[in-house]
Amino acid sequence: MPFEPINPPQFPAPIAPYSAGARAGNTVYVSGVLALGEGGVVLHVGDAAAQTRHVLDVITVTLEAAGAAMADVAMNHIFLKNLDDYAAFNAVYAEYFPGDKPARYCIRADLVKPDLLVEIASVAHLA
């Protein structure tokens, strides 16, 4: 089955060879999202909550460009640089998933730039 790349025009160009998302049939895959601005500049340095909000806003826009919504997310893959940020992350995350919660995992990992604190990749299914 072919897939359709999803690259919302308001986003800066990716820092590597990938699409922001891809839709294959009724499934939407959102690439790992980081708190990056134009030219790969790290946004909200030192603030895990603000980086989480930025990441989830980008995921929302990517899903909408594919005809999906946050309520369609079935799985989130979450990477935190520091597990001390877990509570701040969860406080913001809960705002974006107020109803039924998608499946997820959360691991501690080094991210592609030292000032990045949060990365999330998502999978959504459309009815």
Domains, the chain: 4-125 (3.30.1330.40)
pLDDT, tens only, 33-51: 999 998 889 999 999 999 9
Q: How far apart are the first and last CA of the chain?
A: 18
pLDDT, tens only, 109-120: 999 999 999 999
State residue 78's pLDDT score: 98
Which of 118, 101, 100 shows the shortest CA–CA distance to 109? 118
- What's the mean per-residue pLDDT of the chain? 95
For the cut 90, the answer to whether the pLDDT of residue 15 exceeds it is no
For the cut 70, the answer to whether the pLDDT of residue 14 exceeds it is yes
Sheet holding 103-108, edge to edge: 4-6, 21-24, 27-33, 118-125, 73-80, 103-108
pTM of the predicted structure, to 2 decimals: 0.95
For the cut 80, the answer to whether the pLDDT of residue 13 exceeds it is no
